[in-house]
């Protein structure tokens, strides 16, 4: 028995899954590698299709494009059943639970950036209700987007604190939803690292927007305030200086590369999606830093145009994405402008070709 | 019996490992029963999971099965928690 679920038999591929299963276990990595990758993609596709079906219904039932978020926070009460008990609805007053209030505010901050900076109405662009569950599981050191909602753990208190503390973490998770509804980048390898990077980029922009910061004032950290006091580190990732966020006895050292010279080839972490995201993260920082001012106005706009423009393929490589940002900079801000120059220079600096 | 758990991915992308050798343990039979069920029911290829979800590799005497959040079985969850806690 496996956890494939009931939809497995109707899924069509050219190579039957059992052959891929067999190949994936082959001694020769040349055979096993691609088979494993295909199986992973297939599983992703199945999940996505199922989710699209599930997610389609509420949008059809209530096609509202309002300028107000529709937030609901649930308390998982330290269990794994989602979403859990409804504890705060849109418009209601803050309660006693700071975690619930932070999640509610973070969802609002995310909604505000997308609406005010990019005229996007919620995650799907059509006013999708925003749902989040807090207090997931016990001592849970993580936060994730499950295709329909955000899920936040409380952290173990030793290494990680509450995952609702950094607003960029909340923005990061919701942006996975935006990506799912737009370019839908496959969560594996380089396209997966781009998916991760986009969540970091917009997560950081949400923090900067809510604080009214310029690129020079921003900390460009992801997860500042999340590490427990005993941990030696400032955050989980740094877009300004990838690889420098933490260096700790228990956590190890921040492994992120800033340029292609340090690109990590691995099968773990969906092909290093949280590792190699340092490269496009740093490119974004370089563009924002070169242009100055509010990062969401120019650098953020270029990245948003690429994410939502319809030309970014699901299996895009770094170079595909970089090339599209060059085109977007030209279209949005004109040929020969400082924006175009900043984009070209940034990708060159991190070692990603733009043609 | 040697039970190893490797957790990768997650929001932080930080790897965690644990290993338990049950040979000298008084509760060995309990571990064996749990580990055998997890291996028998597990999938032999990595699972894609969800964005930022944890991925797990569970290896029992050289045989590896894979799983990912948020769709762990109760048995997988129990074994993973115990190995990461007691075998860190």
Which residues, listed in sequence order, are joined to residue A150 by a DSSP beta bridge? Answer: A132, A145
Nearest to A252 among B14, B43, B69 (CB): B14
Contact pairs from chain A to chain B, CB under 8 Å? 111
Regarding whether A338 and A224 lie in a shared domain, the answer is: yes
Whether A30 has a pLDDT exceeding 70, the answer reads no
pTM (two decimals)? 0.84
Out of B6, B42, B69, closest to residue A144 by CB: B69
A76-90, A122-136, A297-311, B37-51: segment of lowest average pLDDT: B37-51
A135, A176, A274, A294: the catalytic one is: A274
pLDDT in tens, A129-151: 999 999 999 999 999 999 999 99
Domain assignment present for residue A237? The answer is: yes
A243 within domain boundaries:
yes
What is the band of A16 on the pLDDT scale with cuts at 50, 70, 90?
A: very low
Whether residue A66 lies inside any domain: the answer is no
- Same domain for A233 and A147: no
What DSSP letter does each residue of A317-330 carry, written as one string?
-HHHHHHHHHHHHH
Residues A145 and A224 in one domain: no
Of the residues A156, A180, A204, the one at which a domain ends: A180
Could you count the other beta carbons within 10 Å of the beta carbon of residue A327? 17
Q: What is the pLDDT of residue A352?
A: 98
pLDDT, tens digit (0-9, with 9 covering 90-100), for B23-44:
989 999 999 999 999 999 999 9
Shared domain for A210 and A112, answered yes or no, is: no
A21-46: average pLDDT = 51
pLDDT single digits (tens) A160-178? 999 999 999 999 999 999 9
Cα A315 to the chain's mean position, in Å? 16
At B20, list the tokens. 């338990």
A63, pLDDT greater than 60: no
The answer on pLDDT for A188 being more than 50 is: yes
Number of domains in chain A: 3
| A26 and A105 belong to one structural domain | no
End-to-end CA, chain A: 47
Q: Is residue A2 part of a domain?
A: no
Is A173 known to be catalytic? yes
* Structure-token match 């370019």, residue found: A183
Is residue A3 situated within a structural domain?
no
Q: What is the CATH number of the domain that holds A245?
A: 1.10.390.10
Closest partner residue to B45 (CB to CB) among A36, A199, A275 is: A36
Domain residues for the domain of A78 are 71-180
Same-domain pairing of A218 and A304? yes
ipTM of the complex: 0.90
Distance CA A167, CA B6 (A): 29
Work out the minimum CA distance from A293 to partner chain B, whole angstroms.
29
On whether any CB of chain A is under 8 Å from the CB of B50, the answer is: yes
Asked if residue A146 belongs to a domain, the reply is yes
Average pLDDT over chain B, rounded to whole? Answer: 93
Q: Verify that A269 and A155 share a domain, yes or no.
A: no
Same domain, A143 and A197: no
pLDDT at B3 over 80: yes
Q: Do A132 and A12 fall into the same domain?
A: no
Residue A108 pLDDT exceeds 80: yes
Q: Is B62 on the interface with A (CB under 8 A)?
A: no
* Range A343-348 contact pairs with CB under 8 angstroms and sequence separation of 24 or more: A343/A287, A343/A302, A345/A286, A345/A290, A346/A283, A346/A284, A346/A286, A346/A287, A346/A290, A347/A283, A347/A322
Q: Is A49 a residue whose pLDDT tops 50? A: no
Contact assessment for residue B55 and residue A268, using Cβ atoms and an 8 Å cutoff: yes
A355 domain-assigned? no
In the residue annotation, A274 being an active-site residue is answered as yes
| Pair of tokens at residue A212 | 């009214």
List, edge to edge, every strand of the sheet that includes B54-60. Answer: B16-21, B2-9, B54-60, B63-68
**Least Cα separation, residue B32 to chain A (angstroms):** 19
First to last CA, chain B: 17
Q: From the list B12, B44, B52, which residue is nearest A21 (CB)?
A: B44
**Min CA distance, A308 vs chain B (Å)?**
19
**Is the sign of the CA dihedral B46, B47, B51, B53 positive or negative?**
negative
Q: Do A43 and B14 touch (CB under 8 A)?
A: no
Answer yes or no: do B52 and A173 touch at CB < 8 A.
yes
A126 part of a folded domain: yes
Is 70 exceeded by the pLDDT of residue A40? no
Do A64 and A130 form a contact (C-beta atoms < 8 A)? no
pLDDT at A155 over 50: yes
* Segment A112-121, tens digit of pLDDT: 999 999 999 9
In terms of domains, do A90 and A51 share one? no
Mean pLDDT for the stretch of residues A281-305: 98
Q: Assign residue A122 the CATH number of its domain.
A: 3.10.170.10
Q: Which residues does chain A have within 8 Å of residue B71's beta carbon, measured at their own beta carbons?
A: 3
Count Cα atoms within 13 angstroms, Cβ side, for A8. 11
Task: Verify that A30 and A90 share a domain, yes or no.
Answer: no
Q: How much of chain A exceeds pLDDT 90, in percent? A: 80
Same domain membership, residue A170 and residue A114: yes
pLDDT band of A12, cuts 50, 70, 90:
very low
Q: Give B35 to chain A, closest Cα distance, Å.
A: 15
Question: Measured between beta carbons, which residues in chain B are less than 8 angstroms from residue A227?
Answer: none
Quick one: pLDDT at residue B46?
86
């Amino acid at each position: 028995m496996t956890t494939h679920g009931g939809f497995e038999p109707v899924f069509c591929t050219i190579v039957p899954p059992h052959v891929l299963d067999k190949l994936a276990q082959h001694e020769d990595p040349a055979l096993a590698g691609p088979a494993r990758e295909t199986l992973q993609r297939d599983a992703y596709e199945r999940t996505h299709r199922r989710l699209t079906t599930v997610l389609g219904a509420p949008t059809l039932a209530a096609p509202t494009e309002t300028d107000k978020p529709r937030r609901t926070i649930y308390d998982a009460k330290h269990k794994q059943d989602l979403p859990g008990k409804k504890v705060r609805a849109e418009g209601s007053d803050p309660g006693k639970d700071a975690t619930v209030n932070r999640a509610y505010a973070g969802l609002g901050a995310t909604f505000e950036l997308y609406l005010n900076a990019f005229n996007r109405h919620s995650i799907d662009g059509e006013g999708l209700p925003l749902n989040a569950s807090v207090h997931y599981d016990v001592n849970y050191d993580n936060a994730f987007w499950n295709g329909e909602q955000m899920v936040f753990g409380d952290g173990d208190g030793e290494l990680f604190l509450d995952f609702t503390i950094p607003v960029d973490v909340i923005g990061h998770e919701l942006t996975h939803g935006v990506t799912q509804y737009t370019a839908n980048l496959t969560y594996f390898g380089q396209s997966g690292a781009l998916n991760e990077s986009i969540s970091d980029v917009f997560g950081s922009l949400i923090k900067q927007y809510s604080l009214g910061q310029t690129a020079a004032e921003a900390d460009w950290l992801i997860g500042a305030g999340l590490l427990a006091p005993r941990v030696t580190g400032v955050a989980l990732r740094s877009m300004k200086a990838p690889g420098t966020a933490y260096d700790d006895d228990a956590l190890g050292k921040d492994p992120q590369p800033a340029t292609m010279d340090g690109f990590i080839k691995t099968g773990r972490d969906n092909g290093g999606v949280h590792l190699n995201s340092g490269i496009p993260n740093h490119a974004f920082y370089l563009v924002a830093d070169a242009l100055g001012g509010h990062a969401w106005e120019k650098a953020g706009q270029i990245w948003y145009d690429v994410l939502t423009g319809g030309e970014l393929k699901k299996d895009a490589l770094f170079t595909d994405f970089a090339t599209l940002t060059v085109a977007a900079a030209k279209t949005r801000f004109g040929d020969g402008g400082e924006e175009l120059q900043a984009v070209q220079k940034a990708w060159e600096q991190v070692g990603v070709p733009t043609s | 019996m040697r039970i190893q758990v490797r957790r990768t991915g997650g929001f932080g992308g930080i790897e965690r490992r644990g290993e338990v050798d049950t040979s000298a343990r008084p509760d060995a039979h309990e571990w064996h029963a749990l580990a055998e069920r997890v291996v028998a029911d597990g999938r032999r290829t990595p699972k894609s999971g969800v964005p930022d979800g944890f991925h797990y590799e569970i290896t029992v005497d050289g045989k590896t099965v894979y799983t990912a959040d948020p769709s762990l079985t109760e048995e997988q969850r129990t074994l993973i928690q115990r190995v990461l806690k007691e075998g860190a």
